[in-house]
């Protein structure tokens, strides 16, 4: 198609995560992960052991229905499908020396299905799924031993699947660790909170582990492309005052340092100043410094919303943003879950990342969580999700603008291409999919799948390579 800014070969698809889609939390030799004891997502205390109200234990039963789901993705014309491999399916406790073959065999079957449909796999090695044993017996990523356990896990995946998987992401939203230590870093959170020294040391361990996975990929899967994955969130000053502009710079630095390290191979000066001012002396070995120089091939990121920032503490009302808070922006509408809807923000962040890192970019999460109503139209069960079509259309139009700006964008995988359990609240009612799944927050439902209106809309977008978007 000529009347589209999207290049030939642009990778269109969708994204999910093992803990939110698979279920079968204790099948196939899988061990417990931190997600199995987070029945209410980030916002509520964890449980000691899995509880029946944790929707992730069953998810949408993708562990058994993956072939049906992938066939639906293929019907939409997906060129790429992002999913994560559950670490505790491969190493149930995380510190074993030998992997669980049943776990590896499950992902062999998923890859077989994707190959059958000509869909490119994009694999997240760790998507908030640290084995629970590593959290409880080692303290999660505060413990340097996790680097070795992760390295063994990554090497196992790259050796087993490296010839079949071209695109790899090391950690999902690696920049969320300071904000969600247990979910993102497998760090048990004591009464008084996790001491900052330990949080920053955990951040360093993950960055070293990410770089080591990149080095291993070069060694065992030279054709593979390795990306980091960050949560992106454009930050606007609440007022034009220089103090608010500086508050934005400080907040940006906190988010961008992870991409800086992954693309430059060392810590930037502003981050070293932060450590000095916090009185934090990281334990960094010469080997760590050498490891960090293994920089990524591309940068991937999630985008849902933008936020505002201010230097005025009195104005710091409780803004609601995904994981990273922020101040509500009075110029924007919000979703039912309070996430501010800002399509232009996606163009801004694409330009910011391209200008800053000059690495190809991949949007691996973008979507609208909404309460969908299952109805019957012409005898077919469906959802008339015009609001989701509008959200995705407007965001994709901005991707097209960024492409016109000269930004190198590899692809787009819409988040939650099928209804799955949400991460922040562990609800199913916060639906993102092009495909409705009949399961409710109380666990009832048939698990049947139904095409929403956006299913056909997205198929047209893919078929026309973006020409069908409404600009
Ligand atoms: C991101 C996570 C995803 C996904 C997404 C949507 O932070 O990487 O796993 O969950 O948020 O958020 P939620 O599911 O909380 O609506």
**What's the mean pLDDT in 16-40?**
98
Candidate of 16, 322, 335, 364 to mutate for ligand 1, largest count of ligand atoms within 8 Å of Cβ: 322
DSSP annotation of 332 reads S
Provide the β-strand partners of residue 362: 300, 411
Q: What confidence score (pLDDT) does residue 236 get?
A: 97
CA end-to-end distance (rounded Å), the chain: 16
pLDDT for 153-201, tens place per residue?
A: 999 999 999 999 999 999 999 999 999 999 999 999 999 999 999 999 9
**What's the mean pLDDT in 445-456?**
98
Residues 6+ apart with CB under 8 A from 70: 81, 110, 113, 114, 117, 119
* CA–CA distance, 76 with 457 (Å, rounded to integer): 9
Q: Is 19 in the pocket of ligand 1 (CB under 6 A)?
A: no
pLDDT for 337-389, tens place per residue?
A: 999 999 999 999 999 999 999 999 999 999 999 999 999 999 999 999 999 99
Is 333 among the catalytic positions? no
289 CA to centre of ligand 1 in angstroms: 31
Tokens matching residue 129: 């799924």
* CA–CA distance, 447 with 434 (Å, rounded to integer): 15
Radius of gyration of the chain from its Cα atoms, rounded to whole angstroms: 21
Please identify which of the residues 22, 173, 320, 401 carries the catalytic annotation.
173
* CA–CA distance, 166 with 217 (Å, rounded to integer): 10
* CA–CA distance, 443 with 272 (Å, rounded to integer): 47
**What's the mean pLDDT in 231-251?**
96
Name the pLDDT band for 99 (thresholds 50, 70, 90): very high
Q: Tell me the DSSP string of 219-271.
A: HH-TT-EEEEEEEE--EEESSS-HHHHHHHHHHHHHHHHHHHHHHHSS--HHH
pLDDT for 246-286, tens place per residue?
A: 999 999 999 999 999 999 999 999 999 999 999 999 999 99
Q: What confidence score (pLDDT) does residue 324 get?
A: 73
Q: Is 173 in the pocket of ligand 1 (CB under 6 A)?
A: yes
**What's the mean pLDDT in 110-119?**
98
Is-contact 204 282, C-beta < 8 A?
Answer: yes
Q: Is 160 in the pocket of ligand 1 (CB under 6 A)?
A: no
Establish if 469 belongs to a structural domain.
no
In total, how many domains does the chain have?
1
Lowest mean pLDDT among 65-74, 165-174, 179-188, 324-333: 324-333
Name the pLDDT band for 314 (thresholds 50, 70, 90): confident
Q: What confidence score (pLDDT) does residue 43 get?
A: 73
Q: For strand 225-232 and strand 375-377, is the pairing parallel, antiparallel, or unpaired?
A: unpaired
Name the pLDDT band for 318 (thresholds 50, 70, 90): low
Tokens matching residue 132: 């629970």
Could you give the 3-state DSSP secondary structure of residue 160?
helix
Q: Output the residue whose Cα is nearest ligand 1's atom 10.
A: 423
* CA–CA distance, 169 with 213 (Å, rounded to integer): 10
Establish if 470 belongs to a structural domain.
no
pLDDT for 127-159, tens place per residue?
A: 999 999 999 999 999 999 999 999 999 999 999
Length of the chain: 471
Is-contact 92 29, C-beta < 8 A?
Answer: yes
Domain with 250 in it: what CATH number? 3.20.20.80
Unique residue bearing structure tokens 């503490």: 313
Establish if 440 belongs to a structural domain.
yes
Q: Is 320 in the pocket of ligand 1 (CB under 6 A)?
A: no
Establish if 287 belongs to a structural domain.
yes
147 is in which domain, residue-wise? 11-463
Q: Output the residue whose Cα is nearest ligand 1's atom 7.
A: 322
Percentage of residues in the chain having pLDDT higher than 70: 98
**What's the mean pLDDT in 282-304?**
98
Establish if 369 belongs to a structural domain.
yes
Q: Is 419 in the pocket of ligand 1 (CB under 6 A)?
A: no
Is 75 among the catalytic positions? no
* CA–CA distance, 17 with 423 (Å, rounded to integer): 10
**What's the mean pLDDT in 30-46?**
94
365 CA to centre of ligand 1 in angstroms: 8
Please identify which of the residues 113, 129, 365, 401 carries the catalytic annotation.
365
186 CA to centre of ligand 1 in angstroms: 17
Establish if 2 belongs to a structural domain.
no
Q: Is 414 in the pocket of ligand 1 (CB under 6 A)?
A: no
Name the pLDDT band for 322 (thresholds 50, 70, 90): low
């Amino acid at each position: 198609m000529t009347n589209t800014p999207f290049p030939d070969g642009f990778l269109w698809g969708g994204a999910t995560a093992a803990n939110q889609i698979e279920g079968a939390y204790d099948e196939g030799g899988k061990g417990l992960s931190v997600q199995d004891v987070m029945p209410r997502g980030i916002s509520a205390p964890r449980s000691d052991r899995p509880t029946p109200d944790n929707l992730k234990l069953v998810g949408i039963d993708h562990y058994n229905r993956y072939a049906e789901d992938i066939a639906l993705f293929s019907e939409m014309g997906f060129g790429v499908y992002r999913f994560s491999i559950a670490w505790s399916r491969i190493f149930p406790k995380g510190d074993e020396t030998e992997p669980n073959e049943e776990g590896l065999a499950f992902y062999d079957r998923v890859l077989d299905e994707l190959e059958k449909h000509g869909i490119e796999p994009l694999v997240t090695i760790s998507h908030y799924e640290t084995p629970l044993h590593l959290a409880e017996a080692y303290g999660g990523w505060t413990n340097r031993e996790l680097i070795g356990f992760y390295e063994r896990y990554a090497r196992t995946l790259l050796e087993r699947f490296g010839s079949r998987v071209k695109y790899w992401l090391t950690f999902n939203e690696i920049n969320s660790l300071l904000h969600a230590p247990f979910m993102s870093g497998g760090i048990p959170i004591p009464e008084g909170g996790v001491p900052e020294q330990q949080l920053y040391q955990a951040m360093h361990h993950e960055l070293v582990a990410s770089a080591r996975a990149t080095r291993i990929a070069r060694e065992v899967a030279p054709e593979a492309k390795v990306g980091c994955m960050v949560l992106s969130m454009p930050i606007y000053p609440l007022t034009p005052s220089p103090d608010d502009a500086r508050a934005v710079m400080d907040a940006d630095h906190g988010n961008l340092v992870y991409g800086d390290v992954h693309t430059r191979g060392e810590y930037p000066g502003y981050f070293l100043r932060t450590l000095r001012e916090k009185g934090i002396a990281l334990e960094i070995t010469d080997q760590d410094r050498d490891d960090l120089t293994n920089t990524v091939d591309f940068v991937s990121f999630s985008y849902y919303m933008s936020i505002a920032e201010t230097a005025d503490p009195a104005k710091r009302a409780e803004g609601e943003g995904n994981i990273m808070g922020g101040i509500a922006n009075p110029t924007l509408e919000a979703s039912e879950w309070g996430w501010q809807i800002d399509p232009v923000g996606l163009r801004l962040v694409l330009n910011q990342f391209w200008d800053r890192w000059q690495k190809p970019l991949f949007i691996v999460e973008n979507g609208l969580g909404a309460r969908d109503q299952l109805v019957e139209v012409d005898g077919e069960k469906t959802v008339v999700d015009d609001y989701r079509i509008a959200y995705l259309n407007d965001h994709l139009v901005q991707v097209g603008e960024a492409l016109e700006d000269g930004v190198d964008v590899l692809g787009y995988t819409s988040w939650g291409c099928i209804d799955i359990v949400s991460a922040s609240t562990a609800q199913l009612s916060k639906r993102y999919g092009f495909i409705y799944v009949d399961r409710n927050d109380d666990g009832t439902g048939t698990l049947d799948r139904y095409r929403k209106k956006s299913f056909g809309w997205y198929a047209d977008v893919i078929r026309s390579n973006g020409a069908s978007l409404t600009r």
